[in-house]
Amino acid sequence: MMQQNLIDPALRTTLAGVPMVSPVLTASGTCGYGPEYAELLDYRRLGGFTTKSVTRHERPGNNPERIVETRAGLLNAIGLANVGVERFIAEKIPFIERMPTSVWVNVAGYDISDYTFVIERLDEHACIAGFELNVSCPNVKDGLMFGTDPRLLREVVAAARAASKRHPMIVKLSPNVTDIADLARAAIDGGADALSLINTYVGLSINAETWKPNIANVTGGLSGPAIKPLALFNVHRVYREVAQKANIPILGMGGIQTTSDAVEFLLAGATAVAVGTALFVDPTIPQKIAAELPAYLSKRGLSHVSELVGRFAFAK
């Protein structure tokens, strides 16, 4: 009975064929592997959970400092610190099996075989809803390559697609490109079932007293409310130029903190949204948004959240 009350039919939707009780997910790299928020965030209300990136080998990550606050944002360079796929299977999968939501495993790598290796190792696990390909981590050497070159991107997505026999594939795109629509097209050509928009913007923070960078990696990825208008634009552009025609759903993210933020991403063309950096401050935000969305829908005379997707009135 409790379970019934958690699910509002107006919010039920799907992402890449995966059913969701709400269109609000958590974004990779801001929610660990699951146990970290288990006591705070009600996973039953989530449309899905996206893990921290998993790579072929364990990675210690960058030296400190790894984050710095900026005006309206957070700059980070963690360096894909993660346990590696074998420890992920041994130590994290048992918890994920118990999580009452769809769990997307974010996969990162340096060459195509890194991606296919991780996906092949994980593909047999039915507790995984699918994969999110991180082709755009800006904080590791050459990490941007796949995400900025349409030909390479298509190649890595196709190889990853072929490596999974049973799971859908989301491709998370970088905004650090001239025209994100070209990359979206390449990802879809490669076989992407959905697109995550966007990863962080490359940024720099300098200490005017020491003349040194504020994070050890020098550059980092900017997230938080500072990038929300930029993220909205990218969602809008990809939806109008590519995704709508191709019937490929968009998972929108970038600075989402409130229900209003989430609605704006849906209006721009996202099918679902993910909360990222804001989880650091309040891990309960996704369930708050999921709880507030039905009231917004009924106030606007809408019966289902899908009626918001791509509906913003942008014609001049």
> Would you please indicate which residues are annotated as catalytic (active-site) residues?
137
For residue 34, report the phi and psi dihedrals to the nearest 5 degrees: 130, -55
251/272 Cα distance (integer angstroms): 5
Q: At what angle do helices 259-268 and 285-299 cross, to 10 degrees?
A: 70
Residues 127, 113: Cα–Cα separation, whole Å: 23
* 246, two tokens: 């191709």
Min dist CB 128 to another protein, Å, is 17
Residue closer to another protein by CB (options 62, 174) is: 62
Q: What's the rounded Cα separation, in Å, for the pair 84 and 45?
A: 28
Non-local CB neighbours of 167 within 8 Å, separated by 6+ positions: 119, 123, 128, 129, 130, 131
Where does residue 119 rank: exposed (0-12), middle (13-18), buried (19+ CB within 10 A)? buried
Nearer to another protein, 204 or 281 (CB): 281
- The Cα 108–Cα 158 span in angstroms is 15
Amino acid identity of residue 27, one-letter, is A
Instruction: Rank residues 164 and 259 by Cβ distance to another protein and give the closer one.
Output: 259
Q: How far is the CB of 12 from another protein (least distance, A)?
A: 18
- The contact set with another protein (CB under 8 A) reads 30-32, 36-44, 52, 60-61, 64-67, 69-74, 76, 78, 81, 98-100, 224, 257-260, 277-285, 287-288, 291-292, 296, 299
Residue whose CB is less far from another protein, 76 or 164: 76
Nearer CB in complex with another protein: 132/193: 132
Q: Where do we find the tokens 């996202």? A: 270
